[in-house]
Structure 1
Amino acid sequence: MLALEDAAVATSGDYRHWVELGGRRLSHTMDPARGGPLTGAPASVTVVARSCMAADAWATALMVRGGAEGPALARRMGLDVLLLERDSGGLSETPVGPLFEAPADLVQEA
């Protein structure tokens, strides 16, 4: 749960709009370098920013950059981001920024 004040949140992901073709999961988001759908992208990228327009733009851009390059870009830009990536155990989280990198003593288990 996020309590926001003077901020907005947006999430981009492939968990709602995707197609499986030849055993590969293809996102609805396009990779400009390939000229086709993203492959191997994070499951989702959530961004908190001052405006919804900025949050949405960054969420999509970081989705395209992927799990390897996205977190580094988010750190350079001072963004608050949560990336979810698929792995053999389900989903793993990569938090970036003070909003998502909460100290362990402040994190409450559900």
Structure 2
Amino acid sequence: LDNLSMATSGNYRNFFEVDGVSYSHTIDPRTGRPVKHTLASVTVVGENCMNCDAIATCLMVLGVEEGYNWCKERNIAAYFIVKAETGFRERYSPQWQHLFGEVNEK
């Protein structure tokens, strides 16, 4: 990355379990509760690392669909890793593809 910063936020390492149910450490300020969605992590690239970190955390609250649309509207470079039935899937914002080239989905 030339003159850019990168930050990642995720729930894949920081969570807790109660009675076999996993809860995210990311709290949705709209509800005051842990987030409940399939987004495992999101990486953001931009000019300022502190802003990238804040945006990545915000996107973890929004989830993949709302977060993707938010990034698309604001030209934010973001890479989403989403839990799937078997393994994970990836999603990239258009600005991520602009910065890093065409991404070939598997």
Alignment TM-score, normalising by the size of structure 2: 0.87
Please tell me whether the aligned partners of residues 41 and 63 of structure 1 are also in contact (alpha carbons under 8 angstroms). Answer: no
Query: What runs of 5+ residues in structure 1 fail to find an aligned partner?
Result: none
Matches within 5 A, 1:31-110: 31-100=28-97, 102-103=101-102
User: What count of residue pairs does the alignment treat as equivalent?
Assistant: 103
Please tell me whether the aligned partners of residues 41 and 64 of structure 1 are also in contact (alpha carbons under 8 angstroms). Answer: no
Alignment TM-score, normalising by the size of structure 1: 0.84
Please tell me whether the aligned partners of residues 84 and 94 of structure 1 are also in contact (alpha carbons under 8 angstroms). Answer: yes
Query: What runs of 5+ residues in structure 2 fail to find an aligned partner?
Result: none
* CA 1:89–1:38: 2 relative to 1, 3 Å: same
Percent same amino acid at aligned positions? Answer: 35
